[in-house]
């Protein structure tokens, strides 16, 4: 049993009131840790520590800040197996996924921003009238609030650019998955980060998260999570004009064109769609949850996809053969099961899956776990609730389309606009889709392929702002225009006329 602690001002400590949250492995429902149930008092202490540490951190040479992040990446890399195991038991995801995706990506985030900040070029423009430059002044204390689906991956995606840009950080990981952020905090101390530069406060969103968002000394907030929470954060931040970046939910379309299903191409398309819909048990905000299939290809594609999904192995996250592990919690499983029931009552037809995995077929160790079978549903109108609201589980719907305009209208016909994928072998057609889809990312014949220099984020109910590359670094800094008059100017009279 691990005892997770807050990191505040360089010291590990429990919540000021002593309250704790019990943390469970959702695959076994066994308790694995306790975490502090922090209060506004703890948040105050963390923000104060971050505010005090800010001037010295901001004034460090960029190379020094970059070096700290690189050292932290080295330590996560050194302990990557331990991080992967912990991430797997905290979330229920397959260990193989934590090993191949979550932890390598967390390391890559740290290294990427350590390098990116060094590569940032000074923005300067010369004209006959003088020289204009843009200085980027770090904002101050950054609140980094991350969710449970990709805990370390998304926490580092926020804290690394914040620290690289010269902000200090108060992080608030999800109460459901505190372990990897706690381990990261330990490695940050080992890496020699000055005290107060990185603080991590554990606790419940509505209590410690809300206190952090409302704190007057927090300069900016970067948040990934649900759309409703994002809305409440935007409201709480508005009165003090805090800068906010929100990465929220999605109802992402995968558009499958007939030519992507013709001949041998069908296998790669089926594989790609199965991955896009069910990676991490469908608990990735970019998962394809609506699969739009060109009607002429339906009979060739859908049975193959159903057969592929039937072969996905759901089971013990520790087994190397497992494709899907447990959902994040028993409560979330009930939510997903209720969403499938609602789809059926709307007229949906379950083609595969549709229910909790029968515990009798699960290995004994994980019989109590929150396992839901990967599920495909068709016969639902694009406007049905199940095709409009995010389920955030291993559930995708299939919708036929006849024309590209119809596919575009269906894909754009929800309040969300996070991402989409287009499975199409004709480049001009794929590019036309990419131009017409109202979302932040369009993948063509691929899904979740990421170049960290490229911005990612959503439109409408999927969020505000972009993260990635220079977009992330710029989020954490205020651009200040510094304009010099002509260098040759000597006469005060002439100078005056230049500025007029």
What does the binding site for ligand NDP look like in residue numbers (CB under 6 A)? 145-149, 172-176, 204-206, 209-210, 213, 224-226, 229, 232-233, 247-249, 285, 390, 392
In the residue annotation, 285 being an active-site residue is answered as yes
Phi, psi of 142 (to 5 degrees): -105, 130
Q: Measured in whole angstroms, how far is the alpha carbon of residue 56 from the centre of its chain?
A: 30
Sign of CA dihedral 377, 379, 381, 382: positive
Nearer to ligand NDP, 204 or 242 (CB): 204
Nearer to ligand NDP, 176 or 293 (CB): 176
* Smallest gap from residue 188 Cβ to ligand NDP (A): 19
Nearer to ligand NDP, 295 or 450 (CB): 450
CB 107 within 8 A of CB 70: no
Using alpha carbons, select from 74, 79, 68, 153 the residue that is nearest to residue 114.
68
Report CA Rg, the chain.
Answer: 24
Nearer to ligand NDP, 166 or 458 (CB): 458
* Smallest gap from residue 486 Cβ to ligand NDP (A): 50
Nearer to ligand NDP, 97 or 351 (CB): 97
- What is the distance between the alpha carbons of residues 343 and 341, in angstroms, rounded to a whole number? 5
CB 357 within 8 A of CB 15: no
- What is the distance between the alpha carbons of residues 189 and 192, in angstroms, rounded to a whole number? 5
Active-site position among 257, 285, 287, 424: 285
Nearer to ligand NDP, 167 or 233 (CB): 233
| Beta strands at 2-3 and 31-36: parallel, antiparallel or unpaired | parallel
- Residue closest to ligand NDP when measured from CB atoms: 205
* Smallest gap from residue 377 Cβ to ligand NDP (A): 18
For residue 479, give both structure tokens.
């651009």
CB 344 within 8 A of CB 350: yes
For residue 335, give both structure tokens.
């939510």
Active-site position among 116, 247, 390, 467: 247
Angle (CA) 30 32 35, round 5°: 130
Buried (b) or exposed (e) across 10-32, using 16+ Cβ within 10 A?
bebebbbeeebbebbbbbbbeeb
Using alpha carbons, select from 126, 87, 148, 88 the residue that is nearest to residue 332.
148
For residue 74, give both structure tokens.
């080295």
Nearer to ligand NDP, 166 or 205 (CB): 205
- Element of type H or E holding 136: strand 130-138
294 CB burial (10 A radius; 0-12, 13-18, 19+): buried
In the residue annotation, 424 being an active-site residue is answered as no
Helix ranges (DSSP H) in 128-264: 151-165, 179-190, 210-214, 227-237
Buried (b) or exposed (e) across 277-287, using 16+ Cβ within 10 A?
bbbbbbbbbbb
Nearer to ligand NDP, 53 or 144 (CB): 144
DSSP β-bridge partners for residue 419: 441
- What is the distance between the alpha carbons of residues 444 and 163, in angstroms, rounded to a whole number? 33
Q: Which residues are catalytic?
A: 247, 285
């Amino acid at each position: 049993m691990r005892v997770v602690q807050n990191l505040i001002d360089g010291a590990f400590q429990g919540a000021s009131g002593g309250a704790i949250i019990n943390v469970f492995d959702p695959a076994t429902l066994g308790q694995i840790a306790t975490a502090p149930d922090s209060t506004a008092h703890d948040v105050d202490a963390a923000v104060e520590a971050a505010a005090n540490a800010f001037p010295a951190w901001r004034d460090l040479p960029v190379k020094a800040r970059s070096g700290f992040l690189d050292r932290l990446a080295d330590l996560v890399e050194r302990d990557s197996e331990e991080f992967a195991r912990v991430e797997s038991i905290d979330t229920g995801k397959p260990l193989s996924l934590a090993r191949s995706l979550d932890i390598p990506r967390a390391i890559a985030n740290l290294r990427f921003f350590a390098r990116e900040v060094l590569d940032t070029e000074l923005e300067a423009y010369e004209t006959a009238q003088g020289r204009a430059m843009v200085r980027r002044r770090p904002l101050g204390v950054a609140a980094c609030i991350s969710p449970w689906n990709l805990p370390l991956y998304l926490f580092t995606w926020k804290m690394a650019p914040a620290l690289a840009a010269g902000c200090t950080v108060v992080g608030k990981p999800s109460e459901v998955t505190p372990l990897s952020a706690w381990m990261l905090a330990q490695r940050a101390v080992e890496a020699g980060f000055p005290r107060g530069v990185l603080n991590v406060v554990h606790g419940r969103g509505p209590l410690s998260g809300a206190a952090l968002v409302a704190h007057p000394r927090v300069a900016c907030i970067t948040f990934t999570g649900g759309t409703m929470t994002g809305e409440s954060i935007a409201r709480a931040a508005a009165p003090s004009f805090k800068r906010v970046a929100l990465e929220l939910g999605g109802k992402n379309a995968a558009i499958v064109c007939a030519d992507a299903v013709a001949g041998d191409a069908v296998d790669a398309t089926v594989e790609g769609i199965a991955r896009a819909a069910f990676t991490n048990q469908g608990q990735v905000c970019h998962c394809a949850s609506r699969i739009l299939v060109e009607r002429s290809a339906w009979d060739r594609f859908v049975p193959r996809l159903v057969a592929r999904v039937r072969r996905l192995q759901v089971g013990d996250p520790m087994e190397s053969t497992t494709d899907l592990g447990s959902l994040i919690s028993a409560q979330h499983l009930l939510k997903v099961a209720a969403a499938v029931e609602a789809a059926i009552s709307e007229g949906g037809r379950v083609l595969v899956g549709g229910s909790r995995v029968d515990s009798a077929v699960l290995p004994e160790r994980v019989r109590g776990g929150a396992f839901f079978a990967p599920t495909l549903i068709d016969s639902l109108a694009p406007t049905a609730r199940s095709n409009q609201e995010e389920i955030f589980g291993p559930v995708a719907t299939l919708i036929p389309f006849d024309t590209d305009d119809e596919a575009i209208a269906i894909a754009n016909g929800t309040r969300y606009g996070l991402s989409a994928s287009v499975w199409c072998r004709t480049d001009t057609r794929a590019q036309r889709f990419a131009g017409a889809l109202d979302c932040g990312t369009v993948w063509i014949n691929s899904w979740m392929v990421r170049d960290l220099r490229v911005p990612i984020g959503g439109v409408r109910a999927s969020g505000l702002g972009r993260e990635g590359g220079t977009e992330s670094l710029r989020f954490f800094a205020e651009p200040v225009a510094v304009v010099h008059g002509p260098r040759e100017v000597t006469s005060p009279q002439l100078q005056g006329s230049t500025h007029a």
